[in-house]
Structure 1
Amino acid sequence: MTYEQLFLFSLLGVVFAFLVWGRIRYDLVAFAALIIAVVAGVVDAHDAFMGFGHEAVVIIALVLIVSRAMMNAGAVELIARFVLSSGRSLSTHIGFMSVIGAGLSAVINNVAALVMLMTLDIEAAKKAKRPVSQSLMPLSFATILGGMITLIGTPPNIVIAEFRGRALGESFSMFDFSPVGLVCAIVGIAFVTTVGWRLIPDTGQAAAVGEDGAAGLFVAEAGVKEKSGFIGKAVSELYPLADEHDVTVLGLVRRGKRLPGFAAGEELRKSDHVILEGDPKSIEAFIGAADLDAPGSEEHGGIRGKSLVLVEAIVPDNAHMVGRTANDLRLLYRRGVTLLGVSRQGRRFRERVRKLVIKPGDVVLLLGPESRVNDAADWLGVLPLAEKSHTVIQRGKALFAVGVFAAAVALSVMGLMPLAVALAGAVAIYALFNVVGAREVYESVEWPVIVLLASLIPLGLALEESGGTKLIADSILSLTGALPAWAILAILMIVTMTLSDFLNNVATALIAAPVGLSIAKGLDVSPDPFLMGVAVAASCAFLTPIGHKNNTIIMGPGGYRFGDYWRMGLPLEVLIIAVSVPAILFFWPL
């Protein structure tokens, strides 16, 4: 064993130990290891930062931005009515959510898909009065499985594709992963839907319901559009939809005057305003589902309309708006911001929101572009509440966002443009049309993952060039020399899958890919089955909450413990190995 091999094996062993320990951020560990390797002379100084310009790193960053754009454009709301139903059994609900989660994960990043659907799943658990732990883990596993279907669904696929391009001269394309990924996803989803969820221990964790009591409830208004489907229908016909979104319809304003009582029997007319009570996210979601207008939204509407936020702010004694109304302040005209709602210690009031005299201690709900809302808050003298800013979904841009993404994928699939360039073009269009703001472009990127990947790429290349990966492959072949190729593939996948359960899946793919290629060369067979096996195994981290970010995200909301994951994860991993090996060999023969 040479000095370079010995040093790199030792360094990577220390890195893996720190990653499993988890007390130091994984990006800092990887970056420190890269610097140590440069100082030690095993990585050329000129190649130290090549990873930051690597195509795989760029694609991962762009996919995360595209995912944010799809969220901003309301992809979730297109399926919300189909997903949420209190009449479905738990197995049926898990099946619906899993299929949709897997489908979304195939076209956007699987972490983003989970984040988009997790709120819906928690909401469904709350309505069904069952522990959210029964459905969150199946949803997480389904989004992981769905990510394996396409190139952009999960980072390991991107890493493997780019490695193949560098090693063999041609990368895997967008849908090369689909045949094997679909088999794994279908079988895996069938398992979590019928059997898997029954293996999850009851954590006793109830669905999160947000703020307690009425203190967080706002009274707000929403206008009836000229072509609304509710025109001519009674106000009471809004009640079922309002119940779904935890919103109360308090009454109706017509020609500037509040009608008596709840006006439940009144027929809705254009230019009416519906009075609502609920938390900010529920109100915003209901306005979208009922196709109503938030006051002032026309100021920012259209395909070029700016990205809007809802910000909660408390009114102190000396605030400029104390004793005044939104009309007095001419808030929309002067600052381009709407006073959407007011919360006054849970009390209801009959005055229109824009005509309500603001008092100290009120919590106001401001709607507008983020920069304008911040400027308006300073001018009004109100104090925005930490972590109480909500992005407003731009529902009118949903089809536009999907069309731009589909066009980018089509250009890549047809070979007219590299995937990275196509996705970059899509991001530029999203930014130009304000589907994502300039700030969101940077906030969308998981920079720790980018630093991890960019730091490990030079280390992986150094290990390969030093002959370290060939040494590992030769060791595996010497121990399994009497076994058939399919058995060696299965062993490689088991080892890779085990590593991925305790390490970041990107790190696992970077190390296992060259090992798989070396094993294929040693067996004198096609390398594609082994590269595809590494891609599947690196993605399937189901035993622990640290192997995949999706499992980490659900740990708190689901009330899971570290040891809860293997109960459903272990049989699922065994099942994936059992079905993926023959699927790989069928679609990618040796």
Structure 2
Amino acid sequence: MDDATTALVVLGVVVVLFVWNRLPVSVVAILAALGLWATGLVTTDEAVAGFGDPVVIFIATLFIVSEGIDSTGVTTWAGQQILARAGTAYVRLLVALGLLAAVLTSFITLNGAVAALLPLVVVVAQRIGRSPSQLLMPVVFAGSAGGLLMLMSSPVNVIVSEAAQHAGAGPFPFFSFTLLGIPLLAGTVAIGALLAPRVLPATTPEHTPPDLGRHAETIEAHYRLTDGFYRLRVRSRSSLIGSSARAVDLDGHPGIQVVGVQTPEGYPVTDVIHDDDVLVVTGPPGEVSRFVVDRGLAVSMTGSADATELLTREAGVAEVVVPPRSRLVGEEVYPGQKRDHELVILAVQRLGKDLGEGPAALAEGDAILLHGRWSALDQLSRDRDVLLVDSPGRVRRQAVPWGPRATRAVLVLAVVVAMLASGQVPPAIAGLVGATLMILARVVTVPQAYRAVSWETVVLVGALIPLSTAIRSSGAADRISDLIIDAVGEGRPRLLLIAIFLLTAVLGQVVSNTATVLVVVPIAVSAAASTGMSVKPLLMVVAVAGSAALLTPIATPGNLMVMAPGGYRFGDYWRLGLPVMVWWFLVAMAIVPLVWSL
């Protein structure tokens, strides 16, 4: 076999494996790179060059920038602001949510936008008496349209822009995608509002994401945090200094009980009380106030709190459960006790009943309510002695919009957008600057940045770049483009646009849209060279069709993420997706030739 045939065989095997869907897409991509190396179509350097490609670097850094925006509550804040003004009318809510999804996608990619809005959309649907299925899919499709608002909005845009530059036509300007994105978004939202109630099922999903927007009120009602403990710090002139920690002088203060005495670091005091030690006491508020004045103490924390005090930008609460075989089983704890990482126990319950204010030995299944800084609460996810009921990160994102680092995150995003819009800074460099600033500004931590990157996407793109290279260099792209040109005829550029759109759109329903674009781009470039057309209109059509992953749940992770919460079946997607795709096709065929001459 010649090189072109070999490349087409490898491509065919890759497509079959993608459709088979039994292997992870990243593994299929790596197998493709290994197969190309084994057949001699690419060298060792070419087989791994994709992982250092500027496109891959830019995509990876965008995930970190997106994490900074999402983790600080900016997306939740934006959602709450819009919904507060949209009212409860279905059409107004759908339009507002669709526009919000598009804007968020343009900054934090489709997957990030769907993850941020999914709980919000489900809760809104329940509150207005609608099935989530009639909101989720239209919102995701609007988010897909938002992926064509700016260069940074989607990996697909970055890939076609780099391809245009390599073809000698220069990259696409930052806002050039907006010319298509705005009409695509307007039509997608309108079609969703008109057809979604008619063509989508009104199903009730078995499992829905938790509504944590009112988490503080839920905690307050469940644990009844009123007239609780007081943590009293011993001041330097306190009369209690030097007295026994086991027999604190409570004369003249009836009703007060000392639950425990701790050092500033949280260790129990068993001998005498020292400066800065902390007494944990309970009793009537008025009597505690007099005790504080008489004994020279200072109130450092109270256990009685309303909902507004439980969750703030700096600190919050977390519920944990003691699992079997935990080292905490049998340990004595009490409300007000300070634990590791500056966490303080607010309440302890067993079988739904409070264990009281005094020390109690923990047992399997006990629930503990902890209070502390968000950074300390996040560390509970790695503590094998407790099980988190709700992720502190998820609680913070939904219940505490516009967190303490939100302003810094937005400023960093503005810097990245400004650099990209200027056209003077390469996308990979702008992304690296943004990711670095997010870490230096302490918006995200280094471990958080690593977790934020979708390594499957990075590996998928990096490993498929050699396949794209092989299709181009082996002559396979020329062979496919010749077949397309023969089918549509010479001198028919509009028919060629239609053929490229259909090829990309059909392949994109069963293969990742990113992988699809990497495969079709060299074919489009070859077709442009063979016909003398400008490469930019063909590549822009590839971008639009590649983003039109609307007919199946496996076409893009965003579609799959809403399948279970919306109660959708595989065959439900085309009912709304097909009319939307027809609109995308019409917009592309009408606008692309006007903006980019054929």
Contact 2:328 2:362 (8 Å CA) reproduced? no
Deviation at 1:159, TM superposition (A): 0.9
The match for 2:332 among 310, 320, 323 is 323
**Residue identity in the other structure for 2:368:** V
Contact 1:126 1:207 (8 Å CA) reproduced? no
**Residue identity in the other structure for 1:18:** L
Distance 1:310 1:191, change over 3 A: same
Alignment of 1:289-328 (within 5 A): 290=308, 292=309, 294=311, 310=318, 312-314=320-322, 319=328, 322-328=331-337
Distance 1:463 1:311, change over 3 A: farther
**Residue identity in the other structure for 2:403:** R
Moved more, 192-201 or 114-123: 192-201
| Distance in 2 between residues matched to 1:208 and 1:315, nearest whole Å | 25
Deviations 1:30-87 (A, max 9, x none): 1012112101101112211000001111111111111111111111232233344695
What's the TM-score, normalizing by structure 1? Answer: 0.80
Residue of structure 1 equivalent to 2:48: 49
Residue of structure 2 equivalent to 1:389: 391
| Distance in 1 between residues matched to 2:404 and 2:116, nearest whole Å | 18
Residue 347 of structure 1 pairs with residue 353 of structure 2? yes
Deviation at 1:320, TM superposition (A): 7.1
Residue of structure 1 equivalent to 2:146: 146
Alignment of 1:340-489 (within 5 A): 342-347=348-353, 357=360, 359-360=362-363, 361-366=365-370, 383-385=385-387, 388-391=390-393, 392-393=396-397, 395-481=403-489, 484-489=492-497
Residue of structure 1 equivalent to 2:239: none
Residue of structure 2 equivalent to 1:335: 341
Residue of structure 2 equivalent to 1:540: 548
Deviation at 1:348, TM superposition (A): 5.7
Q: Secondary structure at the match of 1:157?
A: helix
**Residue identity in the other structure for 2:516:** T
Moved more, 141-150 or 198-207: 198-207
Deviations 1:280-323 (A, max 9, x none): xxxxxxx6xx5x4659x86x8xxxxxxx9946241668627843
Contact 1:47 1:458 (8 Å CA) reproduced? yes
Distance 1:106 1:274, change over 3 A: farther
Residue of structure 2 equivalent to 1:228: none
**Residue identity in the other structure for 1:491:** A
Alignment of 1:6-405 (within 5 A): 6-84=5-83, 88-168=88-168, 170-205=170-205, 208=208, 210=210, 242=214, 250=224, 275=305, 290=308, 292=309, 294=311, 310=318, 312-314=320-322, 319=328, 322-328=331-337, 330-331=338-339, 335-339=341-345, 342-347=348-353, 357=360, 359-360=362-363, 361-366=365-370, 383-385=385-387, 388-391=390-393, 392-393=396-397, 395-405=403-413
Contact 2:207 2:564 (8 Å CA) reproduced? no
Identity of aligned residues (%): 28
Deviations 1:362-390 (A, max 9, x none): 22244557885688899xx9722278533
| Distance in 2 between residues matched to 1:140 and 1:319, nearest whole Å | 44
**Residue identity in the other structure for 1:38:** W
Contact 2:69 2:409 (8 Å CA) reproduced? yes
The match for 1:552 among 560, 576, 580 is 560
Q: Root-mean-square deviation (CA), in Å? A: 3.3
Q: Secondary structure at the match of 2:425?
A: coil
| Distance in 2 between residues matched to 1:453 and 1:505, nearest whole Å | 11
Residue of structure 1 equivalent to 2:258: none
Distance 1:385 1:580, change over 3 A: same
Q: Secondary structure at the match of 1:339?
A: strand
Deviation at 1:101, TM superposition (A): 0.4
**Residue identity in the other structure for 1:135:** L
Moved more, 533-542 or 442-451: 442-451
Contact 1:123 1:207 (8 Å CA) reproduced? no
What's the TM-score, normalizing by structure 2? Answer: 0.79
Residue of structure 1 equivalent to 2:263: none
Distance 1:527 1:169, change over 3 A: closer
Moved more, 537-546 or 342-351: 342-351
Deviation at 1:147, TM superposition (A): 0.9
Ranges in structure 1 where 5+ consecutive residues have no aligned partner: 212-216, 218-240, 261-270, 277-286, 301-307
Residue of structure 1 equivalent to 2:538: 530
Deviation at 1:506, TM superposition (A): 0.9
Deviation at 1:272, TM superposition (A): 8.3
Distance 1:323 1:315, change over 3 A: farther
Contact 1:502 1:544 (8 Å CA) reproduced? yes
Q: Secondary structure at the match of 1:327?
A: coil
| Distance in 1 between residues matched to 2:181 and 2:217, nearest whole Å | 35
Deviation at 1:417, TM superposition (A): 2.5
Contact 1:197 1:568 (8 Å CA) reproduced? no
Deviation at 1:502, TM superposition (A): 0.8
**Residue identity in the other structure for 2:517:** A
**Residue identity in the other structure for 1:107:** F
Ranges in structure 2 where 5+ consecutive residues have no aligned partner: 231-282, 287-300
Contact 2:420 2:427 (8 Å CA) reproduced? yes
Distance 1:248 1:350, change over 3 A: same
Deviation at 1:581, TM superposition (A): 1.3
| Distance in 1 between residues matched to 2:96 and 2:355, nearest whole Å | 41
Contact 2:64 2:453 (8 Å CA) reproduced? yes
Q: Secondary structure at the match of 1:48?
A: helix
Contact 1:377 1:383 (8 Å CA) reproduced? no
Contact 2:491 2:531 (8 Å CA) reproduced? no
| Distance in 1 between residues matched to 2:545 and 2:327, nearest whole Å | 60
